[in-house]
Amino acid sequence: MRIVLKYLLILLSLITGATFLYSAWTKVLPIQPFEYTMVEYLHMPWILATIGARFMVGLEAALGGLMVLHLLGNKKQVLKMAFALLVVLSIYLVWLWATAGDNINCGCFGDAIWMSPSVSLVKNGALLLLTAILIRYHKGFTFKISSAITAALFLSGIVLPFILFPMSKSEPTWLKKGSYAIDLSALYNPIKDDTAALRVPYPEIPGTDLKKGKHVIAFLSPSCEHCMMAARKMSLMKKAIPSLPLFMVVGGISSDLTNFWKETKAQNVPWMRLHREPFLQYTGGIFPLIIWVNDGKVEAKSTYNTLNQSEIEKWSTEKHP
């Protein structure tokens, strides 16, 4: 009977640890949506969300890996930390459910598995039960330096995401030789498409005068994952500071944008659609292309990673002599 219980506890430790590891792994595919979740629902500043996302991934990975290895530390500290983390996350899920509703992805398994707060609470309840059983009955592997190895592996797990997924620099790529003029006429004189079958409403010109003043213009493909992340980030920035001069040019006029809007929630950012040919001329087939335009001249470029809310605000309000 003891042998059966021993192997059952080993199996439970493997299942619980593997769940923690899977949760950490799905959050880094890629890690930016997890950062955006922290900004949107926890209202964290971008820099804290960047750090917090990596710390959380490292914590889950470290705890999960140690449970899989049955290295539980002195007085089963690994299991107790895992239990405490699940309690904190469950409190967060209750708050999220109350404030944002149950028809959202809580992000517990990234974008790999869509999970509402209520379903995730059930999952956490099961994990709490398993962890409590392990705390009560599972001894893990102990040997002379097991505590030292456990501590070293735990710290390594915390640090590893910061090495594998380094934080992006906070500034755009400012052009070393000043700026260059960009011809935006294609946005104001789009190619006509008379195919009646398409029946796609198409704006004749942008609703914003992009030729004058300062604008951060993002050329995005609706099927590009990185473009969606750029649009999502712009949406959160625009929500925080409505005056930011953000604009999106979405390539193609016949593609369905239902999934694009679902993933990005970026309808609050001014936008327009552009035919494929001029869109590719602007981007060179590499997108997202994000340019900082001042009176028709490009002064800087960004990636979806280096888009920085405070930098855009500073640049847009800066007065030139």
Q: What is the CATH number of the domain that holds 261?
A: 3.40.30.10
Domain boundary among 139, 164, 189: 164
What is the per-residue pLDDT for 27?
94
**Which pLDDT value is given to residue 267?**
94
Question: pLDDT tens, 99-156?
Answer: 989 998 998 998 889 999 999 999 999 999 999 999 999 988 888 898 999 999 999 9
At residue 66, the pLDDT reads 97
φ/ψ of residue 247, rounded to 5: -150, 140
Q: Mark whether 158 and 196 lie in a shared domain.
A: no
| Chain CA centroid to CA 125, Å | 26
d(Cα 31, Cα 229) in Å, to the nearest integer? 10
Encoded amino acid at 159, one letter: V
What stretches in the chain show pLDDT beneath 70?
1, 177, 190-205, 320-321
Write out the residue range of the structural domain in which residue 229 sits. Answer: 173-317
Integer angstrom CA distances of residue 179 from 173, 249, 294, 317: 12, 21, 9, 18
Same domain, 158 and 232: no
Dist CA 317 CA 93 (whole Å): 38
- My answer on whether 119 and 138 are in the same domain is yes
* Number of folded domains that form the chain: 2
pLDDT at 255: 81
Claim to verify: residue 37 and residue 65 sit in the same structural domain = yes
Q: In the block, which residue shows the tokens 């309000």?
A: 317
126 and 22 co-located in one domain: yes
**110, 142, 164: which is the final residue of a domain?**
164
Structure token pair of residue 129: 């039960």
User: What is the C-alpha to C-alpha distance for residues 143 and 138, in angstroms, rounded to an integer?
Assistant: 15
Q: Which residues contact 239 (CB under 8 A, 6 or more apart)?
A: 268
Please report the pLDDT score of residue 4 as a whole number: 84
Distance, in Å, from the CA atom of 291 to the CA atom of 257, rounded to the nearest integer, reads 23
Using the 3D structure, point to which of 164, 184, 217 is the last residue of a domain.
164
Q: The tokens of 148 are what?
A: 């030292």
Both 99 and 186 in a single domain?
A: no
Q: Give the predicted TM-score (pTM) of the model.
A: 0.86
* 15 and 159 together in one domain: yes
Task: Return the ∠ at Cα 252 (arms to 179 and 233), rounded to 5°.
Answer: 60
- 89 and 107 assigned to the same domain: yes
Of 95, 300, 41, which Cα lies nearest the Cα of 179? 300
Q: Which of 137, 309, 175 is nearest to 237 (CA)?
A: 309
Assess whether the previous peptide bond of 288 is cis (omega < 30° from 0): yes
Same domain, 140 and 26: yes
